[in-house]
């Protein structure tokens, strides 16, 4: 593909990414505060492990960033979390709420996306 032809495809890809929504880690019984704390904990855990696991000869495409991501993903999955994509509107509303209202809306999203009964 010539560079001039690739530009419209890139513009379209970026436009679609903006409409895709936000990804959140959710699990049954965990509110937004607990989910955030677990995500930070798994991120820290994956950072500490990545420096131990990565070395020469791992191969192309398996650098520290890839390894940290996969470890973080595995950590959250092992704690019972599921990655859910919410709409941009839902994301905006969630960010605008606080306290009990945020917890209540989080529960609604969990039910909508099959994370809670």
Q: Give the DSSP letter string of 12-80.
A: HHHHHHHHS-EEEEE-TT--HHHHHHHHHHHHHHHHHHHHHH--TTS-TT-SHHHHHHHHHHHHHHHTT
Res 46: pLDDT = 85
Res 14: pLDDT = 42
Res 63: pLDDT = 53
List per-residue pLDDT tens for the chain, 117 residues long. Answer: 455 554 444 344 444 445 578 999 999 999 999 999 999 999 998 887 765 544 544 555 455 556 788 889 999 999 999 999 999 999 999 999 999 999 999 999 999 999 986
Res 25: pLDDT = 96
pTM: 0.69
For residues 86 and 106, what is the distance between their CA atoms, to the nearest angstrom?
11
For residues 111 and 4, what is the distance between their CA atoms, to the nearest angstrom?
45
Cα torsion at 114, 38, 90, 12 (round to 10°)?
A: -100
Res 94: pLDDT = 96
Res 50: pLDDT = 60
Res 51: pLDDT = 55
């Amino acid at each position: 593909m010539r560079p001039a032809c690739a530009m419209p495809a890139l513009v379209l890809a970026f436009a679609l990414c903006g409409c895709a929504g936000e990804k959140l880690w959710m699990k049954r019984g965990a509110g937004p505060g607990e989910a955030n704390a677990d995500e930070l904990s798994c991120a820290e855990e994956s950072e500490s492990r990545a420096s131990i696991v990565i070395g020469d000869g791992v191969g192309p495409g398996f650098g520290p960033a890839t390894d940290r991501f996969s470890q973080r993903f595995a950590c959250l999955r092992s704690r019972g979390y599921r990655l859910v994509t919410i709409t941009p509107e839902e994301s905006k509303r969630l960010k605008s709420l606080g306290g009990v209202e945020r917890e209540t809306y989080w529960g609604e999203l969990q039910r909508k996306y099959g994370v809670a009964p």
